[in-house]
Amino acid sequence: MTEIVMPRLSDSMEEGTILKWLKADGDAVARGEPLAEIETDKATLTYESDAAGVLKIVAEAGDTLPIGSVIAHLDGDDGASTKAAAKPEAEPQPDEEQAAPAQPTTEAPPQPDAQADPSADSAPATPAEPPRPAAPPAGRREGRVKASPLARRLAREHGLDLQLVTGTGPGGRIVKSDIEQAAKHPPAPAPAETPAAPEAAAAPASTGAAAAPASPPTAVTETGTAKGDVTVQELTRVQGLIARRMAESRATIPTFELRTEIDMDACVALRAELKALGGDAPSYNDMVVKASALALREFPRANGSYRDGRFELYGRINVGVAVAATDALVVPTVFDADRKSLREIARETRALAERVRTQAVTPPELSGGTFTVSNLGMYGVTDFTAVINPPQAAILAVGALARRAVVGDDGELVARHTMSVTLACDHRILYGADAAEFLARIRALLERPLALAFS
């Protein structure tokens, strides 16, 4: 029997969510055949089987599991041997020791210490508020407790009775965030005659799992508050990752910002000439990516990171380009940007942006960045400060390119194409003078862009 575990699909991945099984329990699976759709901290992708056999599903759709956790078994013989082997394989797993009723198809009798009514409510989120418990799906407490393996293990560690915990995962399944919430406010059995509340108040979910009784909704609405109707939206895994990493960045990185205006007249003229030649004409952002990559060659600490009291300087210059996706911000990577021509960068960034929008981008394309460019100029934003993407040393925020009145060399006002850029730096690895010289080099390359076209 072959174990299928949650794979590591990106360098920053710690856990993954099974969105959908593409094969049913007991189906025959061939090597290389699509097995499941897995959502990682970077993207959603199809996981293919690296072995053949008969599938025995261990983790259900909606489960969020750490890397290395068993999600299924593949038996190389037949379905009968798979069923016979399923129980002994599952019993040694620590996450399933309290889940004996979850394996059989028949309902198990309730435990003596869990005689609460199936519709009994959980304890309120805070003692001061009146209880607004989540209503479990029909038959929720009768025998079979639906919980992820990670939730079962955490429940044992906290001494929690799963019969008394309300699940906010798909189909009322108990997930990690439910156990964490219950550990803060231990649930107590409600009186047997207490009716279930008609609506559920969504519990906070750090894992990004949707709160869902039968079919997972994207939001839960509470009524009767002083603020009017309150709609609580669960985070996707990507949104949860962004929230954690941006909070980490602001909390742990001592940041300073440098801002400058760049005369882009020469870039405008160069782009017009390249467009006239045909082919993939680079955008102004492509020029910024190229200029940043060439400047990073000369300032290796800007292409590094501060980690554990040391500087890490990277041999490759990989520039991340922030792309707005549906309800998220995704940063695909242009690898070896300093060695690629402007046209190559233009083709690659267009292809990456399209794959992000169609959710076809792969984890390797979202990893390995050493510097990031974020451009909001297309939205009319004149300047802004971007948040550093840890552990990178810096990020360049690019504002709108527009014709503005500037003072010419003869002291007269003239209209020129200008663009504001802001460099946010990690002060632990980039100091003021170094960062100023690095930003000045980017400006010089963009104001005399022939070096961009011929390097």
> Among all residues, which ones are annotated catalytic?
427
Number of other CB atoms surrounding residue 66 within 10 Å: 14
Q: At what angle do helices 342-357 and 284-298 cross, to 10 degrees?
A: 120
Distance, CA of 254 to chain centre? 24
End-to-end CA distance of the chain: 55
350, 280 Cβ separation under 8 angstroms: yes
359, 270 Cβ separation under 8 angstroms: no
Rounded Cα distance between 234 and 218, Å, is 6
Q: Is 377 left (phi over 0), alpha (psi -120 to 50) or beta?
A: alpha
Rounded Cα distance between 343 and 5, Å, is 41
Rounded Cα distance between 2 and 76, Å, is 8
Residue 379, token pair as written in the block: 């939205």
100, 145 Cβ separation under 8 angstroms: no
- DSSP tag of 138: T
188, 211 Cβ separation under 8 angstroms: no
Rounded Cα distance between 444 and 344, Å, is 22
Rounded Cα distance between 71 and 18, Å, is 9
Distances in whole angstroms, Cα of residue 183 to Cα of each of 17, 186, 240, 380, 448: 22, 5, 21, 47, 61
Rounded Cα distance between 154 and 167, Å, is 14
Longest dimension (CA), the chain: 92
